[in-house]
């Protein structure tokens, strides 16, 4: 697949999208919720590891979950670090 017009990897910086930490429905996993994707406007969910792991380690450059083909994904960033701290303290 090619993406005509895409800048070279040296100049293209994937956009940052804010993600908010939640526990999975079963309570065993972390989930990062993207409420509004900068690239496609939809919401996405990204795995954040198992409870007991630090979910912040799975932030950063991730493949996009957008339904449209978007090259190079985006950079997941913690949209509310204070809330993340609070959630992490609750489970420890």
Which residues have C-beta within 8 Å of that of residue 26, sequence separation ≥ 6?
none
Q: Provide the minimum distance between the beta carbon of 28 and Zn ion in the complex, in angstroms, as a whole number.
A: 26
CA distances from 49 to 41, 45, 77 (A): 25, 12, 15
Q: Kindly state whether residue 39 participates in binding Zn ion, applying the rule CB under 5 A.
A: yes
Q: Kindly state whether residue 16 participates in binding Zn ion, applying the rule CB under 5 A.
A: no
Other Cβ atoms within 10 Å of 91 Cβ, number: 10
Q: Provide the minimum distance between the beta carbon of 60 and Zn ion in the complex, in angstroms, as a whole number.
A: 16
Q: Provide the minimum distance between the beta carbon of 63 and Zn ion in the complex, in angstroms, as a whole number.
A: 11
Interacting positions 49-88 with Zn ion (CB under 5 A) = 66
Binding positions for Zn ion, rule: CB under 5 A:
37, 39-40, 66
């Amino acid at each position: 697949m090619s993406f005509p017009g895409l800048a070279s990897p040296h100049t293209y910086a994937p956009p940052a999208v804010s993600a908010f930490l939640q526990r999975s429905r079963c309570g065993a996993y972390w989930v990062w919720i993207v409420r509004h994707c900068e690239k496609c406007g939809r919401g996405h969910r990204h795995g954040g590891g198992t409870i007991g792991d630090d979910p912040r380690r799975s932030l950063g450059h991730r493949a996009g979950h957008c339904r449209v083909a978007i090259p190079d994904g985006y950079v997941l960033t913690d949209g509310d670090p204070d809330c993340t701290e609070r959630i992490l303290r609750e489970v420890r």
